[in-house]
Amino acid sequence: MRGAPTFGERTIPGEKTYAGGCHCGKVRFEADLDLQEVIECNCSICSKTGSLLTFAAPDRFRLLAGGEQLSDYQFKSKTIHHLFCPVCGIRSFARGKRPDGRETVAINVRCLEDVDLSALNVRAFDGRSL
């Protein structure tokens, strides 16, 4: 984990660069994130996989390895690409659109390195009702 990233001449407060990936190591990424609050969604897939989520703009996310190997799972409205490693099955991130139409990357915080999960502020989100 590195210090706060810069954007042009300014530093984005609260944001740090985190490394992450799947269990077997085939999928690796870096993301510039602010983990002041993470989301625990109760939709069918998040509740079954135990995901804790944070979100990043696509330009704040860098897929370093395994992109060509990712499997894509979609369900219901098919607006989110739930990407997972075909070797170990871990779903470390997803790609989709926010309600306002902007592209986003949903990152499973449990797949980030050097994050103390017990120190996170977790907010419940009712994805089951969507």
- 21 with 92: CB under 8 angstroms? yes
- Closest alpha carbon to 81 in 91, 89, 71, 73: 73
Reply yes or no on whether the pLDDT at 12 is more than 80.
no
Query: Is residue 84 situated within a structural domain?
Result: yes
Query: Is residue 18 situated within a structural domain?
Result: yes
Domain interval for residue 90? 6-129
- Binned at pLDDT 50, 70 and 90, residue 24 comes out as very high
Reply yes or no on whether the pLDDT at 120 is more than 70.
yes
Reply yes or no on whether the pLDDT at 3 is more than 50.
no
Residue type, 91: R
Per-residue burial over 84-116, b if 16 or more Cβ lie within 10 Å, else e, is: bbeeeebbbbbbbeeeeeeebbbbbbbbbeebe
What is the predicted pLDDT for the residue at 4? 39
The CATH number covering residue 59 comes to 2.170.150.70
State how many domains the chain has: 1
Tens digit of each residue's pLDDT (9 = 90 or more) over 92-111: 999 999 888 899 999 999 99
Round the average pLDDT of the chain to a whole number and report it.
87
Query: Is residue 1 situated within a structural domain?
Result: no
Query: Is residue 74 situated within a structural domain?
Result: yes
Reply yes or no on whether the pLDDT at 29 is more than 80.
yes
Reply yes or no on whether the pLDDT at 69 is more than 50.
yes
What is the predicted pLDDT for the residue at 13? 59
